[in-house]
């Protein structure tokens, strides 16, 4: 089995998309061995537990810096012997050492068509607010490898989504999740699991 660790910070809708595709057989050779949250009490942990997946919080605020926090995460995932780490709405930047230890084994889903509306500070609703402010007609999502630069790793998959008249950042965010993120994240995982 292709062993996946998932890092979350919030509701876990992208986590749910992966769980759904494992359960419907699309990701038949994959299993999520561990879900780790950077914050206590997030709904993503409940989603994992509901599906019998090991879920725990390794709180960012319990560590004095990024290096110490990343070391704790690395130790956890090495113990889990994961083949892939998926950042699914994970809002903490990982240390360079962490990224090197799991080189080409960490992927992230970003809510824009990189290189647009990405990089430091572009998370949550911000990429959608900026896309609407700029007036783009097409946005979307990108799954990419994680490297030392925020949203700077090699692109694995992208999917475009049309911006509609009257879109608010919230409406656009929901459409990008449904029409792009939740589709290409499982696709990227399948692609990588087949290459192993």
* Strand order from edge to edge, sheet including 106-110: 55-57, 30-37, 2-8, 84-87, 106-110, 138-145, 155-162
Q: Is 110 in the active site?
A: yes
Dihedral sign of CA atoms 46, 49, 53, 54 in order = positive
Q: How far apart are CA 74 and CA 196, in angstroms?
A: 21
Among 51, 76, 110, 182, the active-site one is: 110
Q: How far apart are CA 135 and CA 88, in angstroms?
A: 27
**How many alpha carbons fall within 13 Å on the CB side of residue 135?**
0
Respond yes or no on whether the N-terminal peptide bond of residue 115 is cis (omega within 30° of 0): yes
**Catalytic residue positions, numbered:** 110
């Amino acid at each position: 089995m292709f062993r996946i660790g998932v890092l979350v910070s919030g509701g876990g809708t992208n986590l749910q998309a992966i769980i759904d595709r494992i359960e419907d057989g699309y990701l038949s050779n994959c299993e999520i061995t561990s879900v780790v949250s950077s914050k206590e009490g997030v709904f993503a942990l409940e989603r994992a537990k509901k599906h019998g997946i090991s879920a725990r919080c390794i709180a960012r605020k319990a560590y004095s810096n990024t290096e110490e926090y990343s070391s704790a995460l690395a130790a956890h995932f090495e113990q889990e012997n994961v083949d892939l780490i998926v950042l699914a709405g994970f809002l903490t930047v990982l240390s360079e050492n962490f990224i090197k230890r799991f080189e080409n084994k960490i992927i992230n889903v970003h809510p824009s068509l990189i290189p647009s509306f990405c990089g430091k500070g572009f998370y949550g609703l911000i990429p959608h607010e900026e896309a609407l402010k700029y007036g783009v007609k097409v946005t979307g999502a990108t799954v990419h490898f994680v490297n030392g630069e925020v949203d700077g790793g090699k692109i694995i998959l992208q999917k475009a989504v049309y911006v509609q008249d009257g879109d608010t950042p919230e409406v656009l965010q929901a459409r990008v999740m449904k029409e792009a993120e939740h589709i290409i994240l499982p696709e990227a995982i399948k692609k990588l699991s087949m290459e192993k």
